[in-house]
Amino acid sequence: MVTNDFPPRIGGIESFVALACQFLDDDVAVLTSTAPGAAAWDAHLRFTVVRLPGPLLPTRSVGRAAIDLMRASGADRVLFGAAAPLGLLASSLRRAGAERIVALTHGHETWWASVPGARRLLRRIGDEVDVLTTISDYVTSRLAPALSDAGRAKMIRLPPPVDTGVFRPSESPAGSFVPVSTADVETGTKAGVVAVGRMVRRKGFDTLITAWSMLALSGCQLVLVGDGPQRRRLERQVGRLGLHDVVFTGPLDQIGVRTRLRQAAVFALPVRTGLGGLDAEGLGLAGLEAAACGLPVVIGRSGGAPETVRHGRTGYVVDSDDPYELAARLRDLLVDPHRAAAMGRAGRSFVGEHFDADRARRTLRAALGTPPAARV
């Protein structure tokens, strides 16, 4: 595994890559970049992790490190955690003995497909790997025109998997699901809406805060999980609007995210497209994890994000920059917990059918040409 995206960093790609290691029964060796807390994280793993100062780029020195790790571990298959740019090392790794090379794409590669110089590099990656995975129909449609005919023939669908055993609704002692709308946060105040994501403009936290200010629902909180360059700006926005029911949790690990999802009634993230169409959401793992926890999902109309929702059945797709529409959808769900719960149940079924972790495991192992093994 060659990747910049690996825990303890927190993010959708990092979660995907970590789960891929589990799918391979931890029979992997990972070359990745350094990160705060990495030593403690790596100490608990059952496989070798080699870290270099990052970010890793497709340079000769990184290529040599990858070849050294291949030879030391006896690996003959390579998985790039993100196709661009490290997939440009594919030819050198093949010369060193890699028999099968798979590159994952996530969403940022759509930018590569739209810029002339980067487009040529992406085409080269597609030609040099054996399999190029895509996470959504949107990403497939954006990447395909940039690839050669041979590259397009190598594309397969592999969306980020959701472990529905981990992300599941709270259960009562009797085993029946407790309605999510009745869960209380630690303060005893109902967590009406939760959003999870990196605090950048594309995620639409600013629109969500504006919509929340229009609701004025007593006894409910808006819980914002994550961190990023826009956090201070968002905190100032909350202050200007005089909101006292918005909570910033900072970044949380998987269990922390699951806890916050279980404490909420609705998940909302009005993701948007920026930079003239270059910066769009590839799919959106956070919304799928929320649906697996039994929450209705309200998502913005950007890139592949609408593919995570069945509009009107598991949640709603809204105009990313229309706080009035978003506020109306949130109000409908918050004042009608039975409707919200029904959408949540439908959403969990939808995730289990289309984003099941065991299906992703089989797809990944088939792409790498590894023999079947016991289910993780």
Answer whether residue 106 is part of any domain. yes
**Percentage of residues in the chain having pLDDT higher than 90:** 85
| Residue 170, pLDDT score | 84
Please check whether residues 153 and 42 belong to one and the same domain.
Answer: yes
Answer whether residue 219 is part of any domain. yes
Please check whether residues 239 and 145 belong to one and the same domain.
Answer: no
CA distance 178 to 169: 7
CA distance 277 to 68: 40
Residue 56 belongs to a domain with what CATH number?
3.40.50.2000
Q: Which of 6-20, 147-161, 198-212, 315-329 has the lowest mean pLDDT?
A: 6-20
Q: What's the whole-number mean pLDDT along residues 80-104?
A: 97
| Residue 217, pLDDT score | 80
Range of the structural domain that residue 311 is part of: 180-354
**Per DSSP, what are the bridge partners of residue 193?**
222, 266
| Residue 374, pLDDT score | 46
Q: Is the pLDDT of residue 63 over 70?
A: yes
Q: Is the pLDDT of residue 368 over 70?
A: yes
| Residue 42, pLDDT score | 96
Please check whether residues 93 and 204 belong to one and the same domain.
Answer: no
Answer whether residue 208 is part of any domain. yes
Q: Is the pLDDT of residue 177 over 70?
A: no
> What stretches of 113-218 show up as alpha helix (H) in DSSP?
116-128, 137-143, 149-153, 205-215
Angle at 275 between CA 118 and CA 132, to 5 degrees: 40
**Per DSSP, what are the bridge partners of residue 279?**
274
Answer whether residue 281 is part of any domain. yes
Q: Is the pLDDT of residue 179 over 70?
A: no
Answer whether residue 186 is part of any domain. yes
Please check whether residues 253 and 117 belong to one and the same domain.
Answer: no
Q: Is the pLDDT of residue 186 over 60?
A: no
